[in-house]
Amino acid sequence: MDMVKVIIDGVQVEVPKDSTILDAARIAGIDIPTLCYLKGINAIGACRICLVEVEGARALQASCVYPVSDGLVVHTNTPVVREARRINLELILSNHDRKCLTCVRNQKCELQDLAERFHIKDIRYEGERIDYARDELSPSIVRDANKCVLCRRCVAVCASQGVSAIGPVERGFRTIVAPAFDMSINDVPCINCGQCIQACPVGAIKEKDDIDKVWLALQNPDLHVVVQTAPAVRVALGEEFGMEMGTRVTGKMAAALRRLGFDKVFDTDFTADLTIMEEGTELLGRIKNGGKLPLITSCSPGWIKFCEQFYPDFLDNLSTCKSPHEMMGALLKSYYAEKNGLDPAKVFVVSIMPCTAKKFEAQRPELSATGFPDVDVVLTTRELARMIKEAGLDFAKLPDEEFDRPLGESTGAGVIFGATGGVMEAALRTVAEIVTGKPMEDIEVKAVRGIEGVKEAEIQLGDMVVRAAVAHGTGNAKALLEKVKSGEKEYHFIEVMACPGGCVTGGGQPIVKAKDRMERDPREVRAAAIYEEDRDMPLRKSHDNPEVKKLYEDYLGEPNSHKAHELLHTHYVARKTY
């Protein structure tokens, strides 16, 4: 790697030739403030908060986009630099809705952090303000343009997803980030993935808050309220309570949910195992019987909506399996209700998910196997944290508790659903043993792990070679599907997750500020915790789950049976892209 030497605030540092001043400063241990910059997503120099002095340049320069060169001399803390940053920050604040105490991002806001850093106690530039109506029509996402700082991070991440549902419209002072033609986010091809929420430095975009619906259900004596938690929640929830990124809080999470008043606490990992039984059988059936290939996974609702909108010609390739939490909801209102003498109409199912798209998914009319919605309410990881705080629970001091049984047993294969490549790996662990009739020698399929945008693998299963691919982020999925359409690539099985990194960095997970993303990649840190939990599980293959076996023996019959299709499978619809 070619290196160059630069001098920053009198310190000489050697950095890669393709670095920016911002990169070089961090290597030198200097924290240049940023607002619009988001590593790997957005580097446009728009906010002018990261200004520095470069010797020989006529004006201050945005450090996030200024490339280094050998012998470059930079000053980051002169009076001129500090005053310019302060003025730019005050100008941003002058047209910002500063109702911080009632904002969902209070004390977690990057603009608030900057105001504290620069000791902003008053705004010198009060002027005209434009008041915008909030866009609350989407079941997943709320937009409040009054809080927007025009950083365009949401625009960049939406474009990287291959969607571009939002962008800057109007000009000058009237510029706003919004869908075109003053449309609601609900009326454009938004896939509800919530990556815009993760990217936003302030509270201009947030998830639709459904906490009150759950509190009301818990207070209703006529309802039997049950809750389930997705695998990725357990490796992120602790961050909301000051724990290190990637801390596993599975047992404390179960304890907290009981103390909130839920009648039963189940693990969505159980139906992740069930998904592997259904989807693995579906894959083998398509391969043996000349079915539509490649089979593409269906557990990511953001990906499903992306496919319905932009690639409807691939709908027949999608697995007919419902996502794991929808499978669980269907079982809770059928098998579980029958077993416990409960009226399905009185069983209220709450899903705790890392995902905002699952709020949209829960409203899909086709996901109502018993005549009632399979899932009544979806809460994000962040919403659950707010409920725990509101209830006054000291999360860190809670004891570790188990999930309820049945429908609470799970394997390591179920937990790795939370990371990109996890569904593929879990399926291969089971399919390999079904095909060969003997255990896999190494059940950790490293070829499908990691954060590379598209991963490929060929797996020898007896006399059969399965060609597989994994894509995370719908932008990567788009590139992969184009190669499949053109005939450049052929696969038997494809896993797609809408969110970069998979569910561990879903739109409903704890937000990681831009500054922290420069130091650690949450996709890697949280995924590492997922794989740790897998290795610690006594059972690591879905077909070894005793409760899954009993469910088939007592109720479903066998994978892909008529009963299983009634409860656990669904269909998809082509959607307009407007």
Catalytic residues, by residue number, are 279, 282, 299, 319, 358, 361, 366, 503
- Residue 208 per-residue DSSP state: P
At 535, is the secondary structure helix, strand, or coil?
helix
| Cα 433 from Cα 414, distance rounded (Å) | 17
164 in the Ramachandran plot: left (φ > 0), alpha (ψ -120 to 50) or beta?
Answer: left
Q: Where are the beta strands (DSSP E) in 238-376?
A: 264-267, 295-296, 347-353
- C-beta separation of 534 from 512 below 8 A: no
Distance between CA 536 and CA 555 in Å, rounded? 30
DSSP for 23-52, please give it.
HHHHHTT-----SS-BTTTB----S--SEE
What does the alpha-carbon distance between residue 32 and residue 118 come to, in Å, rounded to a whole number? Answer: 12
d(CA 499, CA 523): 10
Contacts of 293 (CB under 8 A, 6+ apart): 286, 287, 317, 491, 492
Q: Name the percent of the chain in helix, strand, coil, to the closest 5.
A: 40, 15, 45
Task: Give strand ranges (E) for 58-175.
Answer: 61-62, 73-75, 141-143, 167-169
Crossing angle of helices 110-117 and 79-94, in 10° steps, is 140
Q: Is 467 helix (H, G, I), strand (E, B) or coil?
A: strand
Residue 400 CB contacts under 8 Å (≥ 6 apart), including other chains: 250, 251, 252, 254, 255
For residue 228, what are its two tokens?
A: 């389930």
Report the C-alpha gap between 31 and 11 in whole angstroms: 14
Give the neighbor-by-neighbor strand order of the sheet with 224-229. 264-267, 224-229, 347-353, 377-380
3-state secondary structure string, 109-127?
Answer: CHHHHHHHHCCCCCCCCCC
Say if CB 3 and CB 18 are below 8 A apart. no
The Cα–Cα gap between 344 and 371 comes to 9
Q: In this structure, is the dihedral angle defined by the CA atoms of residues 322, 326, 331 and 333, taken in order, positive or negative?
A: negative
For the record, the structure tokens of 568 come out as 């656990």
Q: How many CB atoms lie within 10 A of CB 5?
A: 14
Single-letter code of the amino acid located at 271: T
> Tokens 């990725």 sit at which residue?
232
